[in-house]
Amino acid sequence: MPIDYWEIDALRPHEDTHRFRLGEMVEKIQANGFFHKPILVDAVSKTILDGHHKWAAARILSLDILPVVAVDYLRDERITVAVWPDCGKDSITKEEVVETALADRLFAAKTSKHEVAFKIPSIEVPLSRLRSQDHTP
């Protein structure tokens, strides 16, 4: 899967984050000094599919661009979506995920559970490369 680098403000979340998990993610990214895994996004709508906590942590850390794996979410049958147990919903569709993001609304944290039938590659991109002074990953 190719890795692209997108402006952080172009990405659209569809669910909220857990405050405690966000704090852990900020600490982990800072301690590592690297971004180790790209986030999964829909290439068409720029909806974040997996990686909401990484995206929110990157905003706190003042990163400007993020590594992403972009997919054709609505058409790619290798990606499925379900709901997490006890999230308050019985089911969810890909269309609902995209519509929620495009409407600037958010589901509760850990509502959608995406599964992919491909491997998202590991990376080591220094945080300094994800800030505006150097957009060359």
As for how many domains the chain has, the answer is 1
Confidence of residue 133 (pLDDT cuts 50, 70, 90): low
Give domain status of residue 67, yes or no. Answer: yes
Give domain status of residue 44, yes or no. Answer: yes
Give domain status of residue 135, yes or no. Answer: no
Give one word for 67, left, alpha or beta, with left for phi > 0 and alpha for psi -120 to 50. Answer: beta
What letter does residue 18 receive in the DSSP assignment? -
Give the pLDDT confidence score for residue 1 in this predicted structure. Answer: 79
Give domain status of residue 136, yes or no. Answer: no
CATH number at residue 13: 3.90.1530.10
Give domain status of residue 137, yes or no. Answer: no
Supply the range of the domain harboring residue 21. 4-130
Q: What separation, in Å, do the N-terminal and C-terminal C-alpha atoms of the chain show?
A: 16
82-88 LR contacts (CB < 8 Å, sep 24+): 82/112, 82/113, 82/115, 83/111, 83/112, 83/113, 84/110, 84/111, 84/112, 84/113, 87/111
pLDDT tens-digit readout, 37-51: 999 999 999 999 999
Give domain status of residue 105, yes or no. Answer: yes
pLDDT tens-digit readout, 57-103: 999 999 999 999 999 999 999 999 999 999 999 999 999 999 999 99
| pTM, full prediction | 0.91
Mean pLDDT estimate for the chain: 93
What letter does residue 2 receive in the DSSP assignment? -
Give domain status of residue 95, yes or no. Answer: yes
